[in-house]
Structure 1
């Protein structure tokens, strides 16, 4: 077997692989013998089919299979051993690859085009300065979190008078009216219909509920109240969407219940509910604990922004890179055959931007000795679980639930790849923060969010 590689312009490689009969014949013979042992043909006992018959029936297919496997092993082995940074996958050369007659004994020549990554050096050190945003945890931010916890632990009280300022929820009986203003025979009737007037889109209809009390009867028109939301009408009147689209009738609404939402008091019961029994003993400790939690969550956002800024800084520092565009477009088309050439034309430029950062990041990871193991990935999964629970106001989730949630995430292959990437990012961020000069900037959360949205 002979392998040669040409790479005159450094980014377009051509690998030629020549396979002789002696390279494949032993494996072909072995596989055919295995076929013979298992062959079940009329007129022959199992394992006694003549080898000539086996060869005629399976010989060429087995040879093709063995040679293809040999090509893959030798090609990728050569790339690995010679440290060729191949992009994508090798493809047969469209000009030099001649038709292969597998009926012959060989030699067989295969010519592959290979896209090679451009050569460059990505380095970061003390002489490099990158912005780092410290998001301020002020009283307003803590107040918002306290209010969220109080709201989540709140409850509804029954009251007798509707107050639109307090976002009261009404419960009552709906009856469809006919053109004469009386209850329509065989009209829509809904008992125990729940309604929150504050969410009615049209002020004229919303104001009809002002001053409502238990026992009040309000006449309103659902179509006028929700002119652009048939789904709301479908839900309220318990009718299908086709009927909701043509529903023009007025309805009476007999108020049978008024519920007012009351936030939980900021007291020991709330402290225990959020952080566990007796973990916090005062409002001051409660606010301090909340502040620490917010700061830990925001540090993740700051780190993410830092990595984005590192990316921009390094892309500018590395400058323009030359890629084997024609070859990469062929690879992209092969991987997206169902989407066609237009998909490649529309998305190639963006893919090159991502490829450039991928190559830069690979070097930064290697230069900083970043390696992740199963434990690192598991820790990222657990942290992701904690953040997701925290978003729902659950700051005191027992470790066994976090552990189970993380384990369930890791059972999904689609999750594992992103968690591995995240684990790499976590270690890379920490390494780079200790390597470059940080231009620290304090910023409010609102301004930080605005900045991220603009990007």
Structure 2
């Protein structure tokens, strides 16, 4: 019977000595040998008629080593489960252990492995202090949202000439004295007022010559310079003349603020008046900012857990594991460089796992299906099945549920989402009023940081 002894090497780093007796692997070795003889294709012999001795001579060594290694792996896994060891990564050989497998002289074998032990993690979530940002929805925000929606649901026309300020002018553009050329699109109102008269009344095919920095300003100038592949930092490039040849004229006629628009925006609500429409928009905006603020709390919790809680890890073991698991693709120097980021990810995995266990966070099968369905709907832009028939969608969701990678990713996202939802209820949150501009700035900084 196989035996395993355990010895401590360093904090959170133990040695396992696995001794495999010949009786542990010999029966399966002989069975594998017979199976191989039965199926082997060797010239000069009919299939199934190859002498066992010949198979043993030709392939016995490889079959023997394979069966011994399988027996070792099984014993280690059994030992870890029975002793409820929380290990980090997979066991690795303590050092190079040359083994002389002798198919003609079966014997006992011993192997030494080292394992990393997962550290204890005790977290006082209630001691975490965060800010809950509150953004007041103003009339200006609602007006801007109405402007966006009337444009979105408006009608696009192609007038013969450039007249209205909202006219979109598409044009081929080329530096008058040079080879730089491209295509661009500008709104008439984004052209300098002193130059707009040069464009009014023009039709497709007409040309206009302008000095770039006189016709365009700020971001519009930078975009046009980019379209021409010119250097926006070079003032001389900005002073160049360019000729625009109009290729298309477009005008967006905004939707009227009436019941037709209200129905397009809110298909499941009965909104009759502008006042009710504005109230619905205000509620939506408030919910949006509340969700964003909640996400900000989650980010603060994450950074507190990863930046301010230190967990002891068996660093030498983990660095060796990085090298060994790379199967020769990484050197010890590369492992040392990679370790800080690896350790941070590992620390988060340990903390989130422990917190999920403490808070009894579980992911149900239906949640995975709902996640798959929601992801599929997002791919389709929110459109439902043709003629209301969604049987194809159920079939596709079932197909997604059979994808191991998708299930692993979905499980992780759902678990972490539910975990943060629980932690948000437990941390100490202080409300802080913030403007929309500052809140957007804060979210932008967060995106850059990640």
**Could you tell me the TM-score, scaled by structure 1's length?**
0.76
Partner residue of 2:97? 98
Moved more, 400-409 or 298-307: 400-409
Q: Is the partner of 1:284 in helix, strand or coil?
A: helix
Partner residue of 2:150? 150
Cα 1:270–1:59 shift into 2, 3 Å: same
Determine which of 290, 295, 311 is the counterpart of 1:321: 311
CA-CA distance at 1:339 after TM superposition: 5.4
Matched, 1:38 2:42: no
CA distance in 1, matches of 2:175, 2:300: 60
Determine which of 169, 177, 200 is the counterpart of 1:212: 200
Moved more, 279-288 or 262-271: 279-288
Q: Is the partner of 1:287 in helix, strand or coil?
A: helix
Partner residue of 1:366? 357
1:263-318 Cα distance to aligned partner (Å, 9 max, x none): 2222222222222276433333333333444444444433332233333444577x
Partner residue of 2:343? 352
Determine which of 221, 224, 227 is the counterpart of 1:232: 227
Q: Is the partner of 1:377 in helix, strand or coil?
A: helix
2:17–2:110 CA contact under 8 A, matched in 1: yes
CA distance in 2, matches of 1:303, 1:175: 49
CA distance in 2, matches of 1:419, 1:346: 31
2:33–2:56 CA contact under 8 A, matched in 1: yes
CA-CA distance at 1:344 after TM superposition: 2.8
CA distance in 2, matches of 1:288, 1:73: 65
1:332-343 matches, within 5 Å, as: 332-336=322-326, 337-338=328-329, 340-343=331-334
CA-CA distance at 1:12 after TM superposition: 1.0
CA-CA distance at 1:47 after TM superposition: 1.5
CA-CA distance at 1:26 after TM superposition: 0.5
Matched, 1:51 2:41: no
1:239-258 matches, within 5 Å, as: 251=243, 253=245, 255=246, 258=249
Q: Is the partner of 1:326 in helix, strand or coil?
A: helix
CA-CA distance at 1:231 after TM superposition: 7.7
Q: Is the partner of 1:372 in helix, strand or coil?
A: coil
Partner residue of 1:19? 20
Cα 1:93–1:269 shift into 2, 3 Å: same
- RMSD between aligned alpha carbons? 4.3
Partner residue of 2:235? none
Q: Is the partner of 1:76 in helix, strand or coil?
A: helix
1:367-407 Cα distance to aligned partner (Å, 9 max, x none): 11111122122334455667788xx8x6x868978994993
CA-CA distance at 1:174 after TM superposition: 8.2
1:164–1:197 CA contact under 8 A, matched in 2: no
CA distance in 2, matches of 1:65, 1:284: 76
Matched, 1:420 2:408: no
1:55-103 Cα distance to aligned partner (Å, 9 max, x none): 1111111111112222222212212221222111221112xx5310112
Equivalenced residues, count: 420
CA distance in 2, matches of 1:32, 1:158: 80
1:228-257 Cα distance to aligned partner (Å, 9 max, x none): 9898359xxxxxxxxxxxxx996573x576
Partner residue of 1:130? 129
CA distance in 2, matches of 1:340, 1:19: 32
1:4-29 Cα distance to aligned partner (Å, 9 max, x none): 11225441111111111111011011
Cα 1:210–1:301 shift into 2, 3 Å: same
CA-CA distance at 1:419 after TM superposition: 2.2
CA-CA distance at 1:411 after TM superposition: 6.7
2:161–2:249 CA contact under 8 A, matched in 1: yes
**Could you tell me the TM-score, scaled by structure 2's length?**
0.76
CA distance in 2, matches of 1:228, 1:132: 38
CA-CA distance at 1:200 after TM superposition: 9.4
CA distance in 2, matches of 1:188, 1:438: 56
Moved more, 434-443 or 343-352: 434-443
CA distance in 2, matches of 1:79, 1:177: 77
Q: Is the partner of 1:210 in helix, strand or coil?
A: helix
Cα 1:300–1:383 shift into 2, 3 Å: farther
Q: Is the partner of 2:125 in helix, strand or coil?
A: coil
Cα 1:129–1:121 shift into 2, 3 Å: closer
Q: Is the partner of 1:260 in helix, strand or coil?
A: strand
Q: Is the partner of 1:133 in helix, strand or coil?
A: strand
Cα 1:163–1:88 shift into 2, 3 Å: farther
2:161–2:202 CA contact under 8 A, matched in 1: yes
Cα 1:420–1:281 shift into 2, 3 Å: farther
Matched, 1:266 2:261: no
Cα 1:19–1:386 shift into 2, 3 Å: same
CA distance in 1, matches of 2:297, 2:165: 43
Cα 1:358–1:92 shift into 2, 3 Å: same
CA distance in 1, matches of 2:252, 2:85: 66
CA distance in 1, matches of 2:25, 2:443: 58
Partner residue of 1:331? 321
CA distance in 1, matches of 2:412, 2:369: 12
